A and B are shown apart, each in its own frame.
Chain A
Amino acid sequence: MEIELTVNGRRVVAEVEPQALLLDVLRDQLGLRGTKRSCDVQVCGACTVLVDGGPVSACTYLAADAHGREVLTIEGFAEMPEFERYADAFERHAALQCGFCTPGFLLTIKSLADAGQLRTEEELRHGLDGNICRCTGYRGILEAAREIAGVTR
C-alpha cells in the first residue's frame, strides 16, 4: 500500500506492506538509522519517535497508521535550533554513555516539555519511565532533563 506522510518536515510517499512497522520503514526504506531497535515490545523506548508531536514506540507502530501524519526522528530534531539546548545539557551532565537510548530520551523529553507535561520532579520521573538506559543509572539524564524543562528540585 502507498502511504504519504511528513518525515522531519519533508513530504514522503512510500510503498509499504500493510503489516510494516514504522521502525523498519524509517530505518530501511528512509535510511534514518538514528532510531534504534532493541526490545521490540514497546518497553525500552530506544525506538521512540514523535508522531504529530506525541512519543510513540516505532517498533510496535504500523507505518500505515502514520499516513497523513507528521513524524519527527532524531535526525530531524537535530536540525532544529532548540536541539542545541538539549544537546548542551546532555553533554554537560554526561547524560549519555553508549548512546543507544539517547535519541529516544531526547525525543521523549522534547515531546513532554512541548506539551507542558514536565513541570515537576514527579512529572519528570513519570514521563521518563518509559525509556530504559542501561549505562548511566539515570542521574545524569534526570539532571539534564530538569535543566531543559526548567524544573528545580
Chain B
Amino acid sequence: MSVIEEPRTERRAGEVGASRRRKDAQIKLRGQVQYVMDMEMPGMLIGKVLRSEVPHARIVSIDTSAAEAMRGVVAILTGDDVKDLEHPYFGHAIKDRPIIAIDRVRFHGEPVVAVAAEDEATADAAIRAITVEYEELPVVDSIDRALADDAPILHESKVVPGLFHGLGRLPDRRGNIGYHYALRAGDVRAASADADIVVEGEYRFPAVYQYAMETHATIAHYQPGDITLWANCQHPFLTQAEIADLFGEPIGAVRIVVPYLGGGFGSKSYTKMEPLTVALSRKAGRPVKIVNRVDESMVTSRRHGMVCWMRTTAKADGTLLTREARFYLDTGAYADNGPRVTATAADSAPGPYRWEAVDVDANMVYCTTAVSGSYRAFGATHLQWIGESQIDEVARRAGVDPVELRRRSLVEKGRPVRPDGTGKPLDADLIGDVEKVAAAVGWDEPKGRWRGRGVSVGLLAAGAHPVSRASIRMTADGSVEVNVGTTEMGQGARTVMAQIAAEEIGTSSDRVTVQGADTRFTPYDRSTGASRSTTLAGKAVQNAAANVAARLRETAAETWGVDPADVELRDGHAVCGDQRMSFPDVIARRFGFRGGEIIEGGEVRPTGGQTGSYAEGPAFWEVCIAAAEVEVDPETGVVELIRTATVADVGKAINPQLVERQDEGAAMQGIGNAMLEEMIFADGLLTNDNLLEYRVPRIQDLPGEMTSIIVENADGPGPYGAKGCGEGALAALPAAIVNALADAGVSMNELPVTPERVWRRLQEQTNANRTEETV
C-alpha cells in the first residue's frame, strides 16, 4: 500500500509504545456495554428462524397456516417472499446464497422460514407450528463424496460474481469445485529428478467453529429508501453495499450501526444474518431482532475442513528442491469467503522457503454442509502445519537440526515471498524470530524419551484491500473525536486508535474518544479483519491527525507571526520558544470565539497505478512463528503442553500489553485448533452442535509456560512502522505442536491431535515396527 500524505512521525506525546488501559474497560467490567442482543428499538419484533432438518432436499411444501393464526405473530417469511427481488442471492465473492431457502435446501440448518412476533415465546411457538415437507436429495457431506464422478452437482446456474471477491476473473465451476487457484513456478519434475529425500503424505484438517461468545445478532428496520441495521458485523461497509445491492437501494439508503462486538474471529466478517433480518422486517413493516443460538451460529460460519496431499523433495544434505500441494477445502453449501480462503491457503502452501520449483493446486469444494467462511488466520492455519511437518521430516532424514535447516532455507528480508516473484517482498526477519522462539522452549536442553520440541515458520497474506478512511474532529474544548470504521471486537482497536491520534496531535489519549462505525457518519473502512486495522485504518487515523495538527500549528503560527514548522504540539498546547497556547485557545483564536472546530480527514488507498488486488498484495506479510514443547503419555495418548512460545512481529507495538494479549489469545485458539476442536458431520448432520461436545480451550488447557515475544523492527507499512498481529500465533502453534509430537516419536497427519488419535497412531507405528522386525 502507499499513502497520500506522509505525516511527521517524531514522537511527541509518549502515547505510542505505552501500555495504556483499555478505553472500554470500565463499561465492560461493569456490565454496562451494550451488545446488539442487549438493544431494543421502539416497536421491535422478535424474529426466529426455522432451519432445515435435512442436509439436501427439494422443498415440496410449507404449511404456515397454524402459525399465521396465532395471536402476536406479525410476519412469516419464506423463499416466496424474496422472489420479487432481482437476484435474491448474496455473497461478497459469489452470489450463490439465498436470503432464505428458495425451493431447495443445501445444508442441515439452512433457514427455511422466519417468523416475526411480538415476543420471543410467541415466535418460538409459531416456529414449532410450521411444517415443511421435503423431498430428500443425495447427501454430499464430504470432500470425497463431492468429488466422486456420480456426485450430485450442488450449484448448476452460472457463477454470479459478488461485489468484493477481489480475485480478478472468477473461473467457471467444474462439478462441485466452485473455485480454483494455482501457484506455479519452475519445473517440478525436472527440479526433483535428482532428489535424495522425498516426503509425501495426505493430511486432514477438520471443520472448526470460531465460537465468538456473542452469537450473530441483528436488528433491522426496513423502510423503502431507508434501511437501518444494528448489527454485530466486522465489515459494516461491505455489508452496507451488499444489502443495498440485494434490496435495490442506493448505498446511502442503508445505514449500519455497529456497537461493541462480543468477539469476532472472522465469524462476523462479510454478510451473514443481515439479509434475512432485513427481509423479515420488510415483510413485517417493523423493526425485527434476530439473535442466533450457539447451534445456529455454528451453521452460520465456520472454518473450512480440508484434505491435502503434499510432497516435498530435497537433496541428501537437506537443500530444499520442490514443494507440491493439492488440496480441497470444504466450503459447505455456499461460497462465502471460500475463494479468498483458497487463494490464501495456496499462498501459505510453499512456506517462506527458497524453492527450485513449486506447484500448488488449490480447490474450493461445495458440500451439503454448513457454510464455511473466515476464521482467524485462514489458509495459513490449514497449510502451515502440513508444510512445516514435511520440512521437519526433511531435517530428520538429512540429519540436520530443524532450526539450522530453516536458517539455511528461509527467504531473506527484501526477497520475494511468492515463488513466482509477484507481490510484496518479505518484510520481516524470520530467522531472528525462529531463534527467539526456539530459545524460549529450551531448544538445546536435554530431554526425556517422550518429550519433543518443534518450531514452525509461516507467513500470512495480511491487510486485505488497502482502503481505509478516517476523520478527526477537535472540538472547542480541545477534546478529540476519532471517526474510524474499525469494529471493536475485543482487540483494543479503539484504544490503539486513540493513542495514534493523541501521539500525532500532541495530546493525551484520555482526551480522545473513538466510536463504533455508523455508516451514515463514519468514513469508509474496508473491513476489520486480516490483521489490518492498526496498520491501515491506523494509518488513516494518523494522516487525519497530522492534518488536524497542521491546522493547529497554522493558527498558532499566524497568531505569533512565526513559521508553522517552528510550532510544536505537546501536552495539549502549541509551543514556540517561550510562547505557549492551549488547544482551546488556538481554536478560539481561529474562530474568534469559544466555538468552531477542526475537522480533517485521512486516507489510505492504492496508488502508483496499483489496484490493491490480491496479486499485488499483501499490504504486509504477517509473521506466523511458534515453538512448542510437549510430552506424550504413550499409555493414554494424552499430550501435555509443557511450553509454548510465539512471536508478535509487529514492527512497532503501539500498545505492547494489548499486543501481548492478542498474541496469547491467538496462541490459545491455536491450541484449540491443534488439540481439541472439531466439528463432526455424519450424513450431513452436525452432531456436536453445542459447547458440551464441541470443546474449546479452558483455563486448565494453558500450557505450563506460555511466552509471547514482541519483535519491533519498525518494518511495517502502518503508523510508526507498525504492522498487524493477532493471527500469526494461531497458524503457527498447531504446526509447532505437530512437529514437537513428531520429535517425541508420534507423527500425525490429522488434526486435532486428540489422545485417541495419538494413541492409535502410536499403535500403528508400533505394529509397523513389529512387522518390519519380523520381515
A-side interface residues toward B, CB under 8 Å? 27, 33-41, 43-44, 46, 73-75, 78, 86-87, 90-92, 94, 96-103, 106, 125-126, 128-132, 134-142
Contacts and interface: CB of A to CB of B under 8 A. Distances in A.
Contacts of A100: 35, 213-214, 262-263
A128 B42 CA distance: 39
Given A139-B664, A140-B661, 4 more contacts: A75-B30, A75-B31, A102-B31, A141-B699
B34 interface: yes
Contact of B490 (A43, A125, A129, A135): A135
A90 B213 contact: no
Of the four ranges (under 10, 10 to 19, 20 to 34, 35 or more), the interface on chain B belongs to 35 or more
Contact of A34 (B32, B213, B492, B699): B32
Contacts of A138: 664, 668, 699, 702
Nearest to B119: A28
Given A37-B37, A90-B25, A134-B212, A139 B706 contact: yes
A74 B29 CA distance: 8
Contact of A102 (B29, B660, B691): B29
B657 interface: yes
A142 B700 CA distance: 11
Interface in B521-579: none
B664 A136 contact: yes
Contact of A96 (B25, B35, B668, B669): B25
B214 A38 contact: yes
Interface string B456-492: 0000000000000000000000000000000001111
B489 A98 contact: yes
Dominant secondary structure at the B interface:
loop
Contacts of B658: 94
Nearest to A39: B691
Contact of B30 (A35, A78, A130, A137): A78
B509 interface: no
Given A40-B294, A94-B661, A98-B263, A33 B34 contact: yes
Contacts of B696: 132, 134
23 contacts: A34-B32, A38-B691, A40-B294, A41-B690, A74-B31, A78-B29, A78-B30, A86-B29, A96-B22, A96-B29, A97-B665, A98-B213, A99-B27, A99-B262, A101-B213, A103-B29, A129-B700, A132-B213, A132-B691, A134-B211, A135-B490, A139-B706, A142-B702
A97 B661 contact: yes
Interface string B653-696: 00001101100111111000000000000000000001110001
Dominant secondary structure at the A interface:
loop
Contact of B28 (A73, A99, A136, A139): A99
Contact of A73 (B31, B690, B700): B31
Contacts of A97: 263, 490-492, 661, 665
Interface string B277-309: 000000000000000011000000000000000
B257 to A, nearest CB: 18
Contacts of A73: 31
B471 to A, nearest CB: 26
A142 B665 CA distance: 13
A44 B213 CA distance: 8
Contacts of A128: 699
Nearest to A107: B31
B487 to A, nearest CB: 11
Contacts of B215: 38
Give 6 closest A-B pairs by Cβ, nearest first: A34-B31, A99-B28, A98-B490, A137-B664, A100-B262, A97-B490
Most buried by A among B28, B293, B696, B706: B28
B314 to A, nearest CB: 36
B29 A91 contact: yes
B38 interface: yes
A39 B690 contact: yes
A74 B33 CA distance: 12
B627 to A, nearest CB: 16
B327 interface: no
B698 interface: yes
A90 B699 CA distance: 16
A46 B213 contact: yes
Contacts of A96: 22, 25, 28-29
A90 B261 CA distance: 19
Given A41-B691, A97-B490, A134-B669, A34 B700 contact: no
Contacts of B24: 99
Contacts of A43: 690-692
Most buried by B among A35, A38, A131: A38
Contacts of B492: 97
B514 to A, nearest CB: 15
